[in-house]
Amino acid sequence: MKTIAFTIIALLVMPRMWAQTPSSTTEFNVAGIKVIYKPTLKNVVSIRMYFRGGVNNYQAGKAGVEDLALYAATNCGTKNRGANAFRDSAERYGVLFDAASTYDYGYIQVNCVSKYFNKGWELFSESILSPAFENSEVELLKNRDILFVKDRMATPENRLRALQMQNVFAATPYAVDPRGTEQTLEDLTAADLKAHYQSILNKNRIFIVVVGNISQQELSNRILSSFKDIPATPYTEPAMQTSIFYVNSLFTKQLGLKTNYVTAVTNAPQYTSGDYLPFRMAVSGFAGNLFQALKQLTSLSNNPGAGVSAYRMPFATFSASSPNPEVVMVAMMAVLKDIQTRGYNDEWLQHIKNSYITNNYVDNQSSSAITSSLGLAEVLGNWHNADDLPQMVSAVTVDQVNRTINTYIKGIRWNYLGDVNAIQNIKQTFQQ
């Protein structure tokens, strides 16, 4: 089966020449803290401290508390420096901070050139160990986040995604938006942020990923010196298991729009499953065929696509927008059924393997991108999967690809935002 899908989606893989070289990434422990370390010759050192748990770490009424707390740790000053002094020092030495919390984890990251690594580490360790959470600075960040939420929810695509997560993952932690809502953010105080941060700064919750031109011995010494006294209290990460979707369902929300928006959510294998890569390849093929079919069928379809979300409770999504949603939804199902019936062939599989390798080689040029891929893989179950992807991709067979797209897509949970009257003729077809 010919498809243009191999130009659509990239995975975390290295170029073929790298696949022949043993990985230099290692794992070790310093003072009870897990460290994932990849030495490179790059001039930029990237460090991320990860905090496990994500939305499992707080109640729905505190949505956004972790995201705001981690960002505040790098923006509201420390015990030794006020917010302005901290920012001035970082800017003077080109030290870049980032922090956020998502559904499965949070992180604080620092990037700096090797020449100023001493200053970068100094500011990083201060932000980890002694964030100030100064009231006036926290209020500024809260107001910024509230405006961000308002802007984000003004976009139909984002409103549909929120609807999707609330409907598909009702009664699970994923129903909680890690960025928070206007109300939950408004209710948060500096004391809330401080208390939450102290609760997650725990050796049994955290791990550190470092990529750059630094020796393992120097890194170990710095971690030991700075972080040996971080508390170590019992922690067991909650099990996350998605309910299997066996039947179709349709959730709708009436909204007066010229364009209607639809997503479909299906099951997906766990990240550490042998089915994960074959399934991602199958869905990327579907994305290409869907794009081609909808563009040929009607010019009224916008941004059709499909992908697999890499979460601890993974899922696949298909999406499109159109003034004529009935035609688009029927076409989405027809393309899926055709793929499930006819399958892919070896020629297509080789194309998509080559595309994954090429695209990810471009995407993973920076130290920051590598710390991100290694950290996500660790959160999802095994950092080695990020390092070993070239070999894993090469081992995938067309039989695995064809089997997984039939095995995991059983029931589909549709989510629709727009004119409900525009889908009256097919509503029963898309729900059981």
- 33-227 has the same fold as 5-13+241-430: yes
Which structure tokens are listed for 371? 């710390």
Query: What are the φ and ψ backbone dihedral angles of 254, each rounded to 5 degrees?
Result: -70, 130
**CA nearest to 205, candidates 378, 415, 397, 427:** 378
- What pLDDT does 273 receive? 96
Backbone angles phi, psi at 20, to 5 degrees: -90, -5
How far apart are alpha carbons 324 and 76 in whole angstroms?
49
CB contact at 8 A, 379 and 56: no
Architecture label for domain 33-227: 2-Layer Sandwich (3.30)
Distance CA 432, CA 429 (A): 8
pLDDT of residue 363: 65
What's residue 173's pLDDT? Answer: 95
CA 130: distance to chain centroid?
A: 28
Strands 249-254 and 413-418, by their bridges, are parallel
Domain extents for the chain? 5-13+241-430, 33-227
Burial label, 105 (beta-carbon count in 10 A; 0-12, 13-18, 19+):
buried
pTM: 0.91
Dist. CA 157–CA 177, nearest whole Å: 15
DSSP collapsed to 3 states, the chain? CCCCHHHCCCCCCCCHHHHCCCCCCEEEEECCEEEEEEECCCCEEEEEEEEECHHHHCCHHHCCHHHHHHHHHCCCCECCCCHHHHHHHHHHCCCEEEEEECCCEEEEEEEEEHHHHHHHHHHHHHHHHCECCCHHHHHHHHHHHHHHHHHHHCCHHHHHHHHHHHHHCCCCHHHCCCCCCHHHHHHCCHHHHHHHHHHHCCCCCEEEEEEECCCHHHHHHHHHHHHCCCCCCCCCCCCCCCCCCCCCEEEEEECCCCCEEEEEEEECCCCCCCCHHHHHHHHHHHHHHHHHHHHHHCCCCEEEEEEEECCCCCEEEEEEEECCHHHHHHHHHHHHHHHHHHCCCHHHHHHHHHHHHHHHHHHCCCHHHHHHHHHHHHHHCCCHHHHCHHHHHHHCCHHHHHHHHHHCCCCCEEEEEECHHHHCCCHHHHCC
Which of 55, 16, 32 has its CA nearest to residue 393?
16
- For the chain, report the end-to-end CA distance as a whole number of angstroms: 31
Of 311, 372, 383, 385, nearest to 56 (Cα)?
311
As a whole number of angstroms, the distance between CA 104 and CA 83 comes to 29
Q: pLDDT at position 301, please?
A: 63
In this structure, are residues 110 and 96 in contact, taking their beta carbons and an 8 Å threshold?
yes
Give the CATH fold of the 5-13+241-430 domain: Cytochrome Bc1 Complex; Chain A, domain 1 (3.30.830)
pLDDT in tens, the chain (432 residues): 433 333 333 333 333 333 334 469 999 999 999 999 999 998 999 999 999 999 999 999 999 999 999 999 999 999 999 999 999 999 999 999 999 999 999 999 999 999 999 999 999 999 999 999 999 999 999 999 999 999 999 999 999 999 999 999 998 999 999 999 999 999 999 999 999 999 999 999 999 999 999 999 999 999 999 999 999 999 999 988 877 898 999 999 999 888 999 999 999 999 999 999 999 999 999 999 998 888 776 565 678 899 999 999 999 999 999 998 998 999 999 999 999 999 999 999 999 988 877 766 666 778 999 999 999 999 999 999 998 888 899 999 999 999 999 999 989 999 999 999 999 999 888 876
The tokens of 375 are what? 């950290």
- Give residue 303's pLDDT: 81
State how far the Cα of 226 lies from the Cα of 126, in Å rounded to an integer.
9
CA 269 and chain centroid, separation = 16
199: number of Cβ within 10 Å: 17
Structure tokens at 421: 């009257």
pLDDT at 5: 36
